[in-house]
Amino acid sequence: MEPLTNQPIDPAAVATAERQTLSPMSERRMRRLLDVLCDGTRLKIVRALRDNQLAASDLARILGRSRSATSQHLRVLREAEIVEPSRHGNVVRYRLASDINAEILKDVGRAFDRLDPGTAA
């Protein structure tokens, strides 16, 4: 392994990269978000909720999964603050959260839409 040098090759680029480095707390939050989304079913749930509010039973139908399996995935997404429940009478509908996680997911969704233009909203 090559030893670290005291002088960077491009000081301005190094300074910019150092400023853009995530804080430890932000890094943990980002890692948690990405860990949660490393599941195909949860990705499908996030995509289904992109422009909709849906009940767990409707999400289960879309996914072709049982309601209980879908509810377990929704629990993980709730704990990661990716989705938010809202009660309408005796029906709980889920929507994407409206915080930084939602902004990250929108950016990721737009990037993937460029790969598969047929899914663009």
Phi, psi of 37 (to 5 degrees): -85, 0
pLDDT at site 3 = 65
**CB neighbours of residue 33 within 10 Å:** 18
Six token digits for residue 114: 């460029």
Q: Which fold is adopted by the domain 24-119?
A: Arc Repressor Mutant, subunit A (1.10.10)
Question: Does the pLDDT at position 117 exceed 60?
Answer: yes
Q: What is the pLDDT of residues 11-63, one digit of tens each?
A: 999 999 999 898 888 888 888 888 888 898 998 998 899 889 999 999 999 99
Q: What is the pLDDT of residues 72-100, one digit of tens each?
A: 999 999 998 899 999 989 999 999 988 77
Structural domain boundaries in the chain = 24-119
**CB neighbours of residue 49 within 10 Å:** 23
Q: DSSP letter string over the chain?
A: -PPPPSS-SSHHHHHHHHHHSPPHHHHHHHHHHHHHHSSHHHHHHHHHTSS--EEHHHHHHHHTS-HHHHHHHHHHHHHTTSEEEEEETTEEEEEE-SSHHHHHHHHHHHHHHHH-GGG--
pTM as predicted: 0.74
